[in-house]
């Protein structure tokens, strides 16, 4: 595999692109840029005379933290997701998959244009518009309810290696006393709140039980990382990217995660109250949604994958208590 990055020469990149028939020999690359902040993979915007496109390459480590190993086949799974949902009604929310180079672990995506993700929602006074809010739920409903044949869903990769890595972040590190992140650097006083949570053996047990559900199989195709960092605010509206954590699993996972982020981003209360109006629920296990919501609140506040939250210590404490209450319902 040829590793590419922002410093790769245009000639080198062009060779890979032309060999994949994604660009003609006679076309020129005008410039290469980083389209946005990502941690896991290398993501580049290639601007040519004929337009622009996005390249995304996975490595057997986390691109931003090379000491952390990560399964390199995550890009193959992301490519398979795009191929599978190609005919689903939800596909218009996603960029089109234009090509896939299995050898070099690259996918080639439609460029949704220079845009920002929705992590600005965590800042004070930034809200999703009603239209954007409805879109977050419509996408999920359409994705979860796309009918797939038994053979397509059973042959779809389990994505277990990446899920196991994520499982540590979701169900283990936040509750571990050996966790060496200094939470007081994030918010003075947070370390003490985390210690209290970490002494709660019943909570730890509930987290371990829920972790089994995360690693289980299910009938819905999940996005798997459905939070504002996977949403793009573009000129043509709300879009969804980055399904590398996808798997056929319990839809309650995506739903709980989404609800937790609406809370952490302090979105209008009606967005939580009206949630099931825009995601007509059929066969949803509501207490499982609550548990995943609780899990996400806790792991984002005292775990390693921190968010640019602008919440006071007191609000974080309230959300941790709520997280605990939700995770422990069953």
Residue 226 in contact with residue 239, Cβ under 8 Å?
no
Any contact of residue 95 with ligand ATP (CB under 6 A)? yes
Any contact of residue 266 with ligand ATP (CB under 6 A)? no
Any contact of residue 242 with Mg ion (CB under 5 A)? yes
Any contact of residue 183 with ligand ATP (CB under 6 A)? no
Place of tokens 């899920």: 163
Cα–Cα dist 236/256, whole Å: 27
**Would you call 117 helix, strand, or coil by DSSP?**
strand
Locate 330 and state its tokens: 């069953």
Query: Cβ of residue 233: shortest distance to ligand ATP, in angstroms?
Result: 10
Number of residues that bind ligand ATP (CB under 6 A): 21
Q: If contact means CB under 5 to 8 A according to the sort of partner, which of Mg ion, ligand ATP, none does residue 46 touch?
A: none
Q: Which residues have C-beta within 8 Å of that of residue 189, sequence separation ≥ 6?
A: 313
Place of tokens 């980055």: 242
Residue from 13, 17, 40, 183 touching Mg ion (CB under 5 A): that is 40
Q: In the complex, which residue's CB is closest to Mg ion?
A: 242
Any contact of residue 77 with Mg ion (CB under 5 A)? no
Query: Cβ of residue 58: shortest distance to Mg ion, in angstroms?
Result: 9
What is the crossing angle of helices 160-167 and 201-214, to 10°?
A: 170
Any contact of residue 121 with ligand ATP (CB under 6 A)? no
Cα–Cα dist 224/219, whole Å: 14
Any contact of residue 241 with ligand ATP (CB under 6 A)? yes
**Would you call 127 helix, strand, or coil by DSSP?**
coil
Query: Cβ of residue 37: shortest distance to ligand ATP, in angstroms?
Result: 6
Number of other residues whose CB lies within 10 A of the CB of residue 11: 8
Any contact of residue 254 with Mg ion (CB under 5 A)? no
Residues paired with 106 in a beta bridge:
57, 101
Place of tokens 């996977």: 230
Locate 126 and state its tokens: 């930034």
Any contact of residue 166 with ligand ATP (CB under 6 A)? no
**Would you call 43 helix, strand, or coil by DSSP?**
strand
Residue from 16, 17, 32, 40 touching ligand ATP (CB under 6 A): that is 40
DSSP track, 255-285: HHHHHHHHHHTT--HHHHHTHHHHS--SS--
Nearer to Mg ion, 101 or 244 (CB): 244
Residue from 55, 79, 85, 112 touching ligand ATP (CB under 6 A): that is 112
Nearer to Mg ion, 244 or 254 (CB): 244
Residue from 1, 2, 18, 38 touching ligand ATP (CB under 6 A): that is 38
Query: Cβ of residue 74: shortest distance to Mg ion, in angstroms?
Result: 8
Any contact of residue 244 with ligand ATP (CB under 6 A)? yes
Cα–Cα dist 92/99, whole Å: 17
Q: Which of the ranges 32-40, 182-190, 192-200, 310-318 carries the binding residues for ligand ATP, by CB under 6 A? A: 32-40
Task: Provide the binding-site residues for ligand ATP, judged by CB under 6 A.
Answer: 35-36, 38-41, 43, 54, 56, 95, 109-112, 115, 117, 229, 232, 241-242, 244
Task: Provide the binding-site residues for Mg ion, judged by CB under 5 A.
Answer: 40, 242, 244
């Amino acid at each position: 595999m040829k590793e590419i990055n922002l410093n790769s020469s245009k000639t080198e990149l062009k060779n890979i692109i032309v060999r994949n028939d994604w660009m003609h020999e006679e076309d020129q690359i005008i410039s290469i840029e980083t389209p946005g902040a990502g941690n896991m993979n290398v993501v580049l915007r290639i601007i040519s005379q004929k337009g622009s496109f996005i390249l995304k390459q996975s490595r057997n480590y986390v691109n931003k933290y090379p000491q952390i190993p990560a399964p390199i086949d995550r890009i193959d799974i992301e490519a398979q997701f795009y191929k599978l949902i190609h005919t689903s009604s939800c596909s218009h929310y996603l960029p089109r998959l234009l090509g896939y180079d299995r050898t070099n672990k690259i996918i080639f995506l439609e460029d949704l244009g220079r845009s920002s993700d929705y992590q600005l929602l965590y800042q004070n006074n930034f809200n999703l518009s009603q239209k954007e809010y409805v879109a977050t739920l419509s996408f999920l409903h359409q994705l979860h309810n796309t009918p797939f044949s038994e053979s397509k869903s059973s042959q779809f990769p389990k994505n277990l290696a990446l899920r196991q890595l994520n499982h540590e972040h979701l169900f283990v590190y936040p509750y571990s006393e050996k966790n060496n992140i200094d939470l007081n650097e994030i918010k003075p006083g947070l370390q003490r709140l985390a210690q209290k949570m970490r002494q709660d053996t019943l909570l730890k047990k509930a987290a371990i039980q829920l972790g089994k559900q995360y690693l289980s199989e299910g009938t819905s195709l999940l996005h798997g990382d459905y939070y504002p960092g996977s949403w793009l605010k573009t000129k043509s509206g709300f879009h969804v990217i980055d399904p590398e954590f996808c798997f056929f699993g319990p839809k309650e996972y995506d739903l709980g995660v989404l609800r937790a982020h609406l809370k952490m981003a302090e979105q209008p209360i009606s967005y939580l109250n009206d949630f099931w109006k825009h995601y007509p629920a059929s066969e949803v296990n509501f207490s499982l949604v609550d548990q995943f919501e609780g899990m996400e609140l806790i792991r984002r506040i005292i775990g390693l994958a921190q968010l640019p939250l602008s919440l006071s210590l007191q609000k974080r404490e309230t959300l941790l208590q709520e997280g605990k209450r939700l995770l422990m319902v069953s």
